Structure 1
Amino acid sequence: MSAYSKSKTISITVILSAIGGVASVPIGYAGRILSTVPILSLFLSQTLSGFHVFWLVLAAILLKKPGTGMAVGVLKGLVELSLSSHLGLLTLLISLIEGFFVDVVLLILGGNSAFYAYLAGGLSSASNVIVLRVFLLTTLPIIFVVVMYVVSFVSGLVFGGYLSSQSIRVLSVKVRGSG
């Protein structure tokens, strides 16, 4: 790997992690505001969860290197933690696991199509529900957890997978057209 390639990889990883971490803090607090709506409180907050994984999926698609999702996840989690995320230390674990799912789908399964980006976004986003269930929502009835998982999966599919794959498509057209 050339020095240029290493610098490019590090730069993209750090920049997307930082932007993702900074963007995720207000998104997390917006989710908390949505959770004040009676009856739908647990589900509405999960509608925004796909925005948290957009940056992880985008970086993994751009760089196509093993561990990109987890690296961006950890760095993004550290940024969120330093900016007082509403989940505290749990933010770091959630971001790491979200990155793990991005890596599993895009790199281990060898997905190179929009379908795999959507799947990575959905599974990555929904993984936060499992972490929340284990650490915070231990007494929540399973039906609520399942509905939260589905809502989060759809959010990740749309905001994490679809949005990142469309961003790549737009960026590649702009780059090709500018040369």
Structure 2
Amino acid sequence: MTGAVDDYGRLIEAVAATRDRDAFARLFEHFAPRLKAYLMRAGAPPGAAEDFAQDAMLTVWRKADLFDPRRASAATWIFTIARNRRLDALRRESRPLPAPEMSLALEEPEQPDALVSEAEEAARLNAAMSELPPEQLDLLRLAFFQGDAHSEIARKLNLPLGTVKSRIRKAMIKLRIALEPLRETP
């Protein structure tokens, strides 16, 4: 990992620990323009991209204590926040979501250990999904991979909306349990 990557993580940790305004200013100065450019490439108009970038950085300020450098780099965490803010806004507006190929424009290349970790997590997810009953798996695919709203799924499959929501909730609970990190015993 490069020194800059570590520095950004440390800056987020300083914001979390002491609400360090200088650390946040450095994060904002570095990431805000990059977030705006990324969001514009993803289809957001310039004004909206700037709003999303500022909202994402405000979230970094408020939720810095949730950053975990073992799970993601600072850039990945911040870009994911911005991407999710934009997707949330599109959902509220009932606009079509961008294609799943929309990738995060990260500055640093993925580290080999991170790639291995991601591959292991993907394998665990695939194994956990293969254990789901077909009716739950089908609903997850429609909801998360195709981006269909619950009401649209209910209409497509001629199911009550409550049944769709219940099956998706049960599937998510099963996946969360299956994907919990292995607990170390002393």
TM-score normalised according to structure 2 size: 0.32
User: When you count helix as a share of all residues, which structure comes out higher?
Assistant: 1
Query: Who wins on radius of gyration, i.e. which is larger?
Result: 2
TM-score (norm. length: structure 1): 0.33
Task: Name which structure has the greater RCO, CA cutoff 8 Å, separation 6+.
Answer: 1
